Amino acid sequence: MSVKPEPVSALFAGPFALATLSAAGTPAFPALVTPDARVLDLRVPFADAELTTRGLLEDWAAALPRLRTLAGESGPAWQPLAGFRVHAPVEPRQVFQSGANYRQHVIDLHVAHRAPGDDRPEEERRAEAAEIMDRRAAEDLPYVFIGLPSAITGPYDDVVLPAWAEKPDWELELAAVIGRPAHRVSAGEALEYVAGYTIANDLTDRATVFRRDMPQIGTDWLRSKNAPGFTPLGPWIVPTGSIADPGDLRVTLKLNGETMQDESTKDMIFDVARMVSYASQTARLLPGDLVLTGSPAGNGMHWGRLLRDGDVMDGSVTGLGAQRTRCVAEVAR
């Protein structure tokens, strides 16, 4: 089940974006979407019945100019977007997630996660967190870990809150979509390997982030972040050429209509290029892979309000459109 998007106008920046759509009873397909809400099934012009969005990204250098040409055309093959279901725009093989990448967010979490027995004033703990962030920036140490593609769901699909999740929280993020294999690339060349950008809501169960049975193990990202549907993605992949500066976008999340997150990507400690470069120093990034860039201030832990059955999250990033997802509590087994 899913909730419908709001009526669209100016869906995204630029002349076109990529989507993965389906009609009732038919398989999903890659589509070209225009800002006036028209769609073109790309299997037809590319003469490939098995074509996927990831398949387009596999040969992005050749596909991009053709997509530009198609976006300027018209004809009976174009259809209104309203008749289709919108899925996550791509099925990645790898998801690289970033933690502690927004200065104010990290400071807020540092204060919220006060250690037992730490009775220092809030201002002192905030100052400590700020010093840590400054040191990380100076030492050039991003924090990247791996997420599961199976956690991805569509931008308008319901999000099931597992019965075991005690403190489910939202984390709206800018996500970079890889368009060329990247391994050990420099920050200066990293953006050349990015095909476009999309929106991700990287949900986290705060109660299971840290292992209770053996604290010295540290974080448990498998348990806290990778339940099915914990990463609503999309709705579109907007090509990099349509986004003038990924370091100057507004990330906004509303919960039941109330603004919770509203921050610029300027607050990122490490920008998109640095995150892509850093991940590539260890792993080989593949076309269609996602690099999530972290979440800004305003999460549920900050507000003292976690996700509940029936909550509706509206997330948007400048130029990338918007997603809307409804939370549904899992029936305990």
- Give per-residue pLDDT as tens, 73-126: 999 999 999 989 999 999 999 999 998 898 877 777 777 766 667 778 888 888
Per-residue burial over 261-284, b if 16 or more Cβ lie within 10 Å, else e, is: bebebebbbbbbbbbbbbbbeebe
Residues 44 and 168 in one domain: no
Whether 111 maps to a domain, the answer reads no
Residues 150 and 227 in one domain: yes
Look up residue 18 and give its DSSP letter.
Answer: E
Residues 77 and 168 in one domain: no
At 115 the three-state DSSP class reads coil
Instruction: Give the predicted TM-score (pTM) of the model.
Output: 0.92
| pLDDT-above-90 percentage for the chain | 77
Count of domains for the chain: 2
Angle in degrees, CA 11, 12, 15, rounded to 5: 105
Residues 78 and 170 in one domain: no
pLDDT greater than 90 at residue 5: no
Judge whether 237 and 89 are in contact, CB under 8 Å: yes
Residues 217 and 320 in one domain: yes
Structural domain of residue 73, as residue ranges? 17-86
Judge whether 292 and 99 are in contact, CB under 8 Å: no
Residues 67 and 161 in one domain: no
Smallest CA-to-CA distance from 254 within 295, 168, 312 is with: 312
The pLDDT-based confidence of 129 (bands split at 50, 70, 90) is: confident
Q: Alpha-carbon distance 141 to 270, whole Å?
A: 9
Whether 9 maps to a domain, the answer reads no
Residues 162 and 255 in one domain: yes
Q: Alpha-carbon distance 53 to 212, whole Å?
A: 41
Whether 245 maps to a domain, the answer reads yes
Residues 221 and 73 in one domain: no
Whether 6 maps to a domain, the answer reads no
Whether 281 maps to a domain, the answer reads yes
Which of 132-141, 188-197, 238-247, 250-259 has the lowest average pLDDT? Answer: 132-141
